[in-house]
Structure 1
């Protein structure tokens, strides 16, 4: 049988993606022959790419070694790209809490060393969203996540501490000291670091194993940070109520 790639000029990366798509479509146990037939790909090419995908854990071999299934690495990518889901009960108690404060209340989820907006305050929309998601060292929620990770470089673009504002921490030693304080205090804060004139306090919502899986954030004007902090204990009580609803 002669083989001709479905897309002329396809490179290794494109062919690897096509193999993953085929396994996802056919399901667990997809064989190498099914892949080569479906993609009209030479067996030598398919086997080389399959071995690489298994080595990188994007695919795993089934227990009988006859076929393939999607691996853990791909599951992590899917989880990171999927928008967080917050149940109605959780949204309801967050809304109730918002009625008792005059500041924005947002819920951020931690996904594969990155932040995701799970519940945005409709009355006080998030500003600087790109910077919030891209530079975790500049936000309270991001610092909470970095403190949980242990190695900030895992979540920083290129491992660099980008200067978002004049107040953003860009010294790695100073950041490490602050993360250590966050681990002890069980909360994180920032003033003017993500956006000039803004401040935020973040408290962790814990996973069943006790680690932080999300952050409840109170945000408002920088000059009102003391007033924001006065809601810390009530916010912490809310995180306890949120835990069984989110995880």
Structure 2
């Protein structure tokens, strides 16, 4: 399908904006408009128009002398959100110790802003639905544990992100709210074949006393082993208590 003129112009502006951001990220704060036009062989009028738009949207900021540009708050937020969380060696050693005590998958998940991040995936039991787990919070145990701490779900669960991944995925918001209440009362989250058919997972909160959970210790396996996974809840809670001061 051929793009119309306005669509082609919009696509070109997007590409050029990304090229400008990449150039400033590479050359560093203080990069001038002339440096950008020379580096990208871009017409000055185009560069100035896009630079002003990027400043207006806070993807860029002007330096104090007003001669150059630096990355702004909006783009640094993207960088922070995409960064892989750092796990201290002491926490990794504790995770390995706990993994040696269970035959199930053990993953460390951290909560960041309005999302969850896989901080340490079990190397012997790799996640098969990692992208779905991070994107569809309502379908994973860690995601539901995260959601159970929020008063308003609308900003993290827009309509397009309440997707039915399996026949057992909860997509009705009222049913989901009830499930989240049960999680808060029970103290840990469970999902059974909601993220992936034939698989279940349990998520225990990792938190400093008196604070919301900053992450979860997750145990996963086949659905028929759910009762055996539940038997590990006390030891998982103990491990989570030991992990909290090492992570936060």
TM-score normalised over the length of structure 1: 0.82
Aligned length: 239
Unmatched 5+ residue regions in structure 1?
Answer: 1-8
Q: Which residue of 2 aligns with 1:58?
A: 59
Q: Which residue of 2 aligns with 1:159?
A: 160
In structure 1, what is the Cα distance between the partners aligned to 2:234 and 2:52?
52
In structure 2, what is the Cα distance between the partners aligned to 1:209 and 1:49?
47
Q: SS in structure 2 opposite 1:50?
A: helix
The within-5 A match list for 1:99-138 is: 99-111=100-112, 113-138=114-139
Q: Which residue of 1 aligns with 2:193?
A: 192
* Distance change >3 Å, CA 65–CA 234, structure 1 → 2: farther
Q: SS in structure 2 opposite 1:212?
A: coil
Q: Which residue of 1 aligns with 2:5?
A: none
The within-5 A match list for 1:1-247 is: 11-111=12-112, 113-148=114-149, 150-156=151-157, 159-206=160-207, 210-247=211-248
Report deviation, 1:185. 4.5
Say which is worse superposed, 22-31 or 220-229, in terms of deviation: 220-229
Q: SS in structure 1 opposite 2:102?
A: coil
Report deviation, 1:209. 9.4
In structure 2, what is the Cα distance between the partners aligned to 1:108 and 1:154?
21
Q: Is the 8 A contact 1:135 1:157 kept in 2?
A: no
In structure 1, what is the Cα distance between the partners aligned to 2:177 and 2:220?
23
Unmatched 5+ residue regions in structure 2?
Answer: 1-8
Say which is worse superposed, 134-143 or 181-190, in terms of deviation: 181-190
Report deviation, 1:72. 2.0
In structure 2, what is the Cα distance between the partners aligned to 1:220 and 1:157?
29
Q: Is the 8 A contact 1:113 1:155 kept in 2?
A: yes
* Distance change >3 Å, CA 78–CA 91, structure 1 → 2: same
Report deviation, 1:95. 1.0
* Distance change >3 Å, CA 16–CA 168, structure 1 → 2: same
Report deviation, 1:18. 1.3
Q: Is the 8 A contact 2:108 2:215 kept in 1?
A: yes
Q: Is the 8 A contact 1:153 1:160 kept in 2?
A: no
Q: What is the root-mean-square deviation in Å for CA atoms of aligned residues?
A: 2.8
In structure 1, what is the Cα distance between the partners aligned to 2:169 and 2:40?
50
Q: SS in structure 1 opposite 2:31?
A: coil
TM-score normalised over the length of structure 2: 0.82
In structure 1, what is the Cα distance between the partners aligned to 2:165 and 2:222?
17
